[in-house]
Structure 1
Amino acid sequence: MTSVTSSLWRKLIAFQIYGANTGVGKTVACAVLGKAFLTRYPDWQINYLKPVSTGPTTDADDKYISRYTGHKADCIFQFSDPVSPHIAARVKPPSDQQVLGRVSEELFKHARSVITKGKYGITMVETAGGVLSPAPSGSLQADLYRPLRLPVILIGDHRLGGIAATISAFESLTVRGYDVEAVMIFESGKLGNTDYLMKFFNTHKLPIFELPALPPAGDISTLQESMVSYYENVSQTSEISRLAQHMVDRHFVRLKNLERMAPEANDVIWHPFTQHKGRADNSILTFDSAYGDFFQTYPSPQPVGYDHTPEESRPIENNASLLQSAFDGSASWWTQGLGHGNPELSLAAAYAAGRYGHVMFAGAIHQPALSIANKMLQGLENPRLRKVFFSDNGSTGIEVAIKMALKASSTRYGWGNDSKNVGILGLKGSYHGDTIGAMDCSEPSTYNEKVEWYHGRGYWFDFPQVKMRKGAWVVEPPTGMETNFGQRQTFKHLDEVFNFEARDSTKYETYIEEVLNRLIKSEGRKFGALIMEPVILGAGGMIFVDPLFQRTLVNVVRKLGLFHTPFKQPLASTEIRAGASSAWTGLPVVFDEVFTGLYRLGRFSAASFLKVHPDISVHAKLLTGGLLPLCTTLASQSIFDAFISDDKADALLHGHSYTAHAVGCHVANVSLDKMGKLQQEKMWQIFQQSWQISDSSSTVTWSMWSKETVTALSHKEQVDGVVALGSVLAVSLYDESGSGYTSDVANNLRDALLRESHDHRWIIHSRVLGNVLYLIASMTTDGETISTVEKLLLTKLHDVGNSL
């Protein structure tokens, strides 16, 4: 879903009226509130907005509000049939985006009006039916309006069964991230609904306000007189006046909280990956909420000097919302798969929290963990993998993988105490996480070289890179290594790069074998594992490794006899039964798919691009769709068997209190099911068609970023190369200094994307890795959003121009 402009103004207090059910008196409550606001704030502009209404126009709620209150009342979509909106609008229903867009436009008009007149205003947005009643499209109302995240007054149900309906409605709103600011309910008499609900909501520190029962029905003239009298009297009661003031106060408390967060954060928060020297408060972006692909951000502190009541301060502002919609261009550090605030994931988390809370995992099992283990084993389609180990994040999962691999090598080759000097093989520029063991698997860099306990333990191969330049895909060797790897190769389609049968790997094999012979025979070094990120190195700078080189490296390591001397322990019987294809040879191969796996590159497993199966595979990030931290490290039976012993000390003594926490595991099950459904239902087909090769029945590689835009970027004079695969887009900018990760050459482009364009209502929040600016979509990002982001990127790249 594309973004809707956030709806928060200083002088316009907008909130939604939700009902616990149909017929609970939402419109009457709005009329009472409207009269109360007019009485308490006679100079204010009071508005009523009904986005969707069903039934005859003569009985429409906006007409009713105008008749009894005299203030402005509008309806956007009116359907004549007095039935549920999804039925009334069945001929040509407006989309959710159309409804949201129109509501947003009306709120903007109200804000502009009060600001222009130098007044304050109230807008009440009344929904139709209950919290979970269908919208015209069939979506649930609570989901339809969630991007606006307006504060809510919930109208409770005063009828028989109303206690349950009211509490259920409250919980439905809460689990979706709404702020319910108050509850209103009509007198329930002997049913006692109000008394019970007052006690219930008191535990949530949520005020509840009771309305007198409506006058008895009579003939039309009598009823109208009675209702006029009812509204006059009730709107002036201390109870309703207190509610009106409460909503105003809550609005200004929200503003005050937003304004204080950045300065307070600068005092008490130690941010990751941040040099704090000289940092200003206004460099901290305040998140009010997030939904779909967008953050709702408060750009910077704005000292305005007001107290809780609006009369004490009249700040000058423009018509724009105080909140800014920002496209989450890094997919929140690569975690977002199904969008922020996804109601299905939220409900899944609530269910598992209610069913389990947290239960310890040592020597135990629960269904969510067993299910996700089986899903991972099945989805990876790797015949080697048999066991699943749980941890909490990618870096920890890599720690586990290192322990597994080194133990397996040490046990098989009988290194014993000499295993302390064993290193790993990897790729230059790779990075596998911030824990000590994971850092030791990477060469010295900005990330680790100043960490006191860091001791890079390994050898890291340089390699040819893949990128698009001037509209063509090139495989380019590192400067000065043309003799080792061959000259630059050019391909028309990215699929050709992955066509291993048509490409010659001889030079790669020769080079890798020569390096390993030198390291092991001449220098006497020991290695216990090969670890690498398949296809793209994430934190290293979104580097696209020639997949033929990675495939060749795995094959050489597995077959080269250097690692078989001395061979102290035979294969276990379980390995023999499993067959040679399942037993590791040479060295255990570890694939770090924390970033690249689980559909991030368009497939469940990035390993499938290389057509080789690792012995250990690590998966996190997208595992829970971006909601909770969870990681799985999967291993082959032959790796597992290295830990089988009569000695407890030989076991894999690794874990933490929240290992395989049930909430995360259950959310992961739902997340993988949802992403699998996206693939099965061909939700990405529109993106795949952009990359379809005309003379091919199937396309191996595709990107959510259009071929036209990627090609256009590759022709820009500031651009050294472009990478696009799955949801990932990376733009490498020329940097003559060659300073790598410490380069600031991409900062100007990043900052330009954060500045609002005159023709767009939202911005792009992105991250840079040295001279590389990258953008990552979630797996549910729609084509319209992608297209808008692409246009903004091309525009901003042109605008910054020579400054790069």
Structure 2
Amino acid sequence: MSLLFKNLRIHQIFGANTDVGKTVLTSALVRASAALGKAVYYLKPVSTGPLDVADDEHVKRFAGRYRESVDAACLFRFDEPVSPHLAARLAQEQGKREVTVPSDETFANAVAHHIRQCATRMTRPSHMYVETAGGVHSPTLSGTTQLDSYRPLFLPTVLIGDSKLGGISSTISSYESLLLRGYIVDAIMLFRDEYYRNWEYLSPYFAERGVHVVTLDPPPERHADRAQDVELTDKYYEHIVPSTQQGGIFDAIQHLDNCHAQRLTELETMPRRTLDTIWWPFVQHGLVKSEADVNVLDSASGDFFSVYNGRRSSPSASPPALSAQGSPKTSLLEPQFDGSASWWTQAVGHAHPELALAAARAAGRYGHVMFPQGTHLPALKLAERLVHDGPGKGWASRAFFSDDGSTGMEVALKMALRAYTVKHGLDKAERKHLGILGLKGSYHGDTIGAMDACEEGVYTCEWHEAKGFWFDPPTVAIRKGKAAVSLPPALAELAGAADAQVDTRSLAHTYDVAARLQTPLAGTYRAYIERTLQKLKEKGGPTIAALVLEPLVMGAGGMIFVDPLFQRVLIDVVRGTYSSVQPRPASQWAGLPVIFDEVFVGLYRLGLQSTAPLLGTQPDIAVNAKILTGGLVPLAVTMASDSIFQAFMSEAKVDALLHGHSYTAYPVGCEVANATLEMIDKLAECEEWNVARHAWKVPESPDAKDTAVWSFWDPEFVNAVSHLDSVNEVMAFGTVLSIKVKDTSGGYQSHSAQKMLESIKTGLVEDKLSSAPGGAPFGINYRTLGDVAYFMLSLNTPAHTARSVEERIWSAIKN
């Protein structure tokens, strides 16, 4: 990940095109830095063409009398003067067996490793320049565009503009490409070509955007005589890097130094400014004791944050791991694995370029447009995809857009309650006393209506009024290597169980709902639910008008893995108990409208596109969010069957679904969602997923992919953790890993899981296995729910990263 040193100022040099003078201007920067007394490191990661004209050789040759202060290096060198990806391929085709084309990660690791080596050799304040090849989108050795290959390193950038014909356009386009990927562009440099005079246009253009522009005289034309050419070139460098050390290139050096100092100051002051200004969600500020407790995120890429660790150099911080953080030769930024997938939103990693481009595409075409009685392609395509080919296939007819999971659930509740009132002809007074049926531990969001659909708990507020009834559900877990269902006391008593734990043979059998429907336990569930509902009717209270479930896993309630058999039987009972019409068409709700809150579990968070096929039954209403947009922008979609939609149809405006948001069907969100779903569809068929399924012994049948239980977490690791004395139970499903710590106090207010895992927050210097892109040891950013620690992967987290995270978790719990 990103590297930042107090006394080593680093800038990466990109070019707006090939042959724009990138090496010439970089050589000038190197020479000027050395003239100012700095030790200078120059790196050309990839060089193609003969050695005598290589860029690193040019930099050393024309450092002049400052040559001893310059360290120039190249990591990958190829003979053919062509694009790096082609040069590597040609070298292989020519039979050079030692040539191995590195992956993007290996390439980034090599660059990062060299930078860290240079930092360790520093004896005085230093400058470093990393020069790329060709234009910003020229491919690296793997064929990936440079912008994406270098992005995990997140080095501040100098863009060399194009001073020739067409250079205005290529310079602006390159600048915008850098911004789309989040790069910090500290300066733009280009030649003052007196014929095309691009600098006259570009200087004010970028000045209006707050970007510093430096213009320099162009070099002389190349002389046919080699010795004469070297002499002329040397005189040119003496001209643009004058002994007076003023103006031109020295202004550029000063500006880059100022940018570096400003970045350091911002990172240093952000904790205090945050504590003075920000009110965090789900954080007790009274427990935040110092500025060192503020996690400062400088950037993010893939599965990792890049966080500032400079505060740990103070003795009071006493870091448990990275003991060298106070050293000026150690990066002030460290990688930190995003262990909660940023509150369950991340699907394909942070700052994914395809999603950023999708957002820009829609922002440029639409911005935002109001949606009532209108349409636009991003929204229409997304609705069609979700309803006809996605989780709504076979039962949904409509998609309603909102802005996040909580409001999506508010919409779902409005739909369900209206459908019930219309069907039963309730008057206005009766409508005020409707309630929902759900499960204890459920959570549907923080808006008032969503909170009212849950029993009173830690997330509710002063206005909360629980409206309904919540079953205490049986749960699934792995204990000492065995899958088991734990029954709540009332169910255990009814089942006549000696204890509350029922051995279900295996995890695969536990989630084989169709087979378990024929077991005695299913009959026990049915009898318990029917008896409870009958008593509820007899006691009065709110009229139950909808069943609301978080299928399979109740996330915020403590990663509660509900027995799927119980949820299936509950659905079957409410559809039979409250309806005289059986069987029903898939599009016609019966008994109670059934809502699936798939905000957390949907769209492959559990390795399944939807939980409905595993449960063997469809909802009447379902909500998707979070993964929907890959974690880039907020968006939620509430899907409904036609019978739900018809409850709002009439000639009266007041009968419409009068719910909406200014940003309903936000084009940017819809376009990003379409791009996300397209990427996920491809991932679902990729080899990495097949390998993970195979490890969990998933049958190789097409149907198994929709119903099988499997995980990206290693089954042997899960089994081993379940045997640890300090662990009560473990569950893994799809991207989710949940570990419940043994704690007599237990519950949400416990700090046991937080304390047990404290050591994984920072990277271990001696840890050679756990490394992030860039090769650095990483810490893990994690959240706990009382005595439950949970971790999540993205849908494309590399297997070796998952194994590294497992190693850190294992060490922390075991020790």
Distance of 1:289 and 1:650 partners within structure 2: 47
Moved more, 761-770 or 673-682: 673-682
CA distance 1:227–1:611, shift in 2 (3 Å): same
Deviation of 1:320 after TM superposition, in Å, equals 2.2
1:740-772 per-residue CA deviation (whole Å, 9 max, x = no partner) reads: 111111111342210322314111100001100
Structure 2 residue aligned with 1:802: none
Structure 1 residue aligned with 2:339: 329
SS state of the match for residue 189, structure 1? coil
Given that 1:431 and 1:537 are in contact with CA atoms closer than 8 Å, whether structure 2 keeps it comes out as yes
**Counterpart mapping for 1:449-598 below 5 A:** 451-479=461-489, 481-485=491-495, 487=497, 488-503=501-516, 504=519, 505-523=522-540, 525-561=542-578, 580-598=585-603
Moved more, 407-416 or 680-689: 680-689
Given that 1:281 and 1:300 are in contact with CA atoms closer than 8 Å, whether structure 2 keeps it comes out as no
Deviation of 1:492 after TM superposition, in Å, equals 4.2
CA distance 1:13–1:395, shift in 2 (3 Å): same
Deviation of 1:692 after TM superposition, in Å, equals 1.2
Distance of 1:234 and 1:329 partners within structure 2: 50
Given that 1:423 and 1:459 are in contact with CA atoms closer than 8 Å, whether structure 2 keeps it comes out as yes
Deviation of 1:337 after TM superposition, in Å, equals 0.3
Deviation of 1:228 after TM superposition, in Å, equals 1.0
Q: Identity of aligned pairs, percent? A: 45
Distance of 1:83 and 1:625 partners within structure 2: 36
1:195-238 per-residue CA deviation (whole Å, 9 max, x = no partner) reads: 11112111211111112111122211111111111112211251
Structure 2 residue aligned with 1:160: 165
Given that 1:442 and 1:456 are in contact with CA atoms closer than 8 Å, whether structure 2 keeps it comes out as yes
CA distance 1:623–1:693, shift in 2 (3 Å): closer
CA distance 1:539–1:15, shift in 2 (3 Å): same
Is 1:251–2:267 an aligned residue pair? no
Given that 2:605 and 2:735 are in contact with CA atoms closer than 8 Å, whether structure 1 keeps it comes out as yes
Distance of 1:580 and 1:783 partners within structure 2: 43
Deviation of 1:330 after TM superposition, in Å, equals 0.3
Deviation of 1:466 after TM superposition, in Å, equals 0.4
Structure 1 letter corresponding to 2:789? L
Distance of 2:187 and 2:627 partners within structure 1: 36
Structure 2 residue aligned with 1:568: none
Given that 1:259 and 1:302 are in contact with CA atoms closer than 8 Å, whether structure 2 keeps it comes out as no
1:286-323 per-residue CA deviation (whole Å, 9 max, x = no partner) reads: 1100000000011364799xxxxxxxxxx962532101
**Counterpart mapping for 1:184-203 below 5 A:** 184-203=189-208
Given that 1:286 and 1:300 are in contact with CA atoms closer than 8 Å, whether structure 2 keeps it comes out as no
Distance of 1:317 and 1:121 partners within structure 2: 15
Deviation of 1:581 after TM superposition, in Å, equals 2.7
Distance of 1:670 and 1:694 partners within structure 2: 30
CA distance 1:106–1:300, shift in 2 (3 Å): closer
Within the candidate set 29, 32, 35, 2:31 is matched to 35
Distance of 2:721 and 2:496 partners within structure 1: 27
Within the candidate set 416, 420, 442, 2:454 is matched to 442
Structure 1 residue aligned with 2:71: 72
Aligned residues: 765
Structure 2 letter corresponding to 1:271? W
Structure 2 residue aligned with 1:392: 403
Deviation of 1:774 after TM superposition, in Å, equals 0.3
Given that 2:512 and 2:614 are in contact with CA atoms closer than 8 Å, whether structure 1 keeps it comes out as no
Is 1:774–2:790 an aligned residue pair? yes
Within the candidate set 739, 744, 748, 1:741 is matched to 748
Within the candidate set 40, 55, 58, 1:61 is matched to 55
SS state of the match for residue 397, structure 2? strand
Structure 2 residue aligned with 1:365: 375
Deviation of 1:524 after TM superposition, in Å, equals 5.5
Given that 1:750 and 1:767 are in contact with CA atoms closer than 8 Å, whether structure 2 keeps it comes out as no
Given that 1:283 and 1:300 are in contact with CA atoms closer than 8 Å, whether structure 2 keeps it comes out as no
Distance of 1:266 and 1:254 partners within structure 2: 19
Structure 2 residue aligned with 1:19: 15
Distance of 1:696 and 1:128 partners within structure 2: 47
Structure 2 residue aligned with 1:140: 145
Structure 2 residue aligned with 1:48: 42
Return 5+ residue gaps in structure 2 as ranges: 93-99, 315-324, 771-776
Deviation of 1:502 after TM superposition, in Å, equals 2.7
Deviation of 1:239 after TM superposition, in Å, equals 1.0
Given that 1:349 and 1:664 are in contact with CA atoms closer than 8 Å, whether structure 2 keeps it comes out as yes
Given that 1:379 and 1:604 are in contact with CA atoms closer than 8 Å, whether structure 2 keeps it comes out as yes
Structure 2 residue aligned with 1:786: 802
Is 1:271–2:280 an aligned residue pair? yes
CA distance 1:316–1:396, shift in 2 (3 Å): closer
Structure 2 letter corresponding to 1:86? H
Structure 2 letter corresponding to 1:84? S
Given that 2:6 and 2:328 are in contact with CA atoms closer than 8 Å, whether structure 1 keeps it comes out as no
Distance of 2:420 and 2:393 partners within structure 1: 21
Distance of 1:338 and 1:60 partners within structure 2: 38
CA distance 1:694–1:434, shift in 2 (3 Å): closer
Is 1:284–2:276 an aligned residue pair? no
Moved more, 698-707 or 246-255: 698-707
Deviation of 1:491 after TM superposition, in Å, equals 3.5
Distance of 2:25 and 2:504 partners within structure 1: 67
CA distance 1:632–1:169, shift in 2 (3 Å): same
CA distance 1:494–1:359, shift in 2 (3 Å): same
Given that 2:310 and 2:333 are in contact with CA atoms closer than 8 Å, whether structure 1 keeps it comes out as no
Structure 1 residue aligned with 2:128: 123
1:10-60 per-residue CA deviation (whole Å, 9 max, x = no partner) reads: 0110110000111111111111111111122x1x21010011111122221
1:497-555 per-residue CA deviation (whole Å, 9 max, x = no partner) reads: 12233322111111000000110134354111000101000001111000000000000
Distance of 1:557 and 1:406 partners within structure 2: 15
CA distance 1:201–1:407, shift in 2 (3 Å): same
Is 1:262–2:261 an aligned residue pair? no
Within the candidate set 231, 235, 242, 1:229 is matched to 235
Given that 2:5 and 2:328 are in contact with CA atoms closer than 8 Å, whether structure 1 keeps it comes out as no
Distance of 2:281 and 2:467 partners within structure 1: 25
CA distance 1:485–1:763, shift in 2 (3 Å): farther
Under a length normalisation based on structure 2, what TM-score does the superposition of the two structures give? 0.91
Structure 2 residue aligned with 1:307: none
Distance of 1:607 and 1:579 partners within structure 2: 17
Distance of 1:130 and 1:152 partners within structure 2: 13
CA distance 1:424–1:316, shift in 2 (3 Å): closer
Structure 2 letter corresponding to 1:792? R
Within the candidate set 231, 238, 245, 2:247 is matched to 238
Is 1:662–2:656 an aligned residue pair? no
Return 5+ residue gaps in structure 1 as ranges: 305-314, 565-570, 800-804
CA distance 1:495–1:753, shift in 2 (3 Å): same
Given that 2:487 and 2:502 are in contact with CA atoms closer than 8 Å, whether structure 1 keeps it comes out as no
CA distance 1:545–1:320, shift in 2 (3 Å): same
Under a length normalisation based on structure 1, what TM-score does the superposition of the two structures give? 0.93
1:99-158 per-residue CA deviation (whole Å, 9 max, x = no partner) reads: 1111111111111111xx2x1111100001110000000000000000111011101111
SS state of the match for residue 680, structure 1? coil
Structure 1 letter corresponding to 2:725? E
Deviation of 1:621 after TM superposition, in Å, equals 0.3
C-alpha RMSD of the superposition: 1.9
SS state of the match for residue 396, structure 1? helix
**Counterpart mapping for 1:170-181 below 5 A:** 170-181=175-186
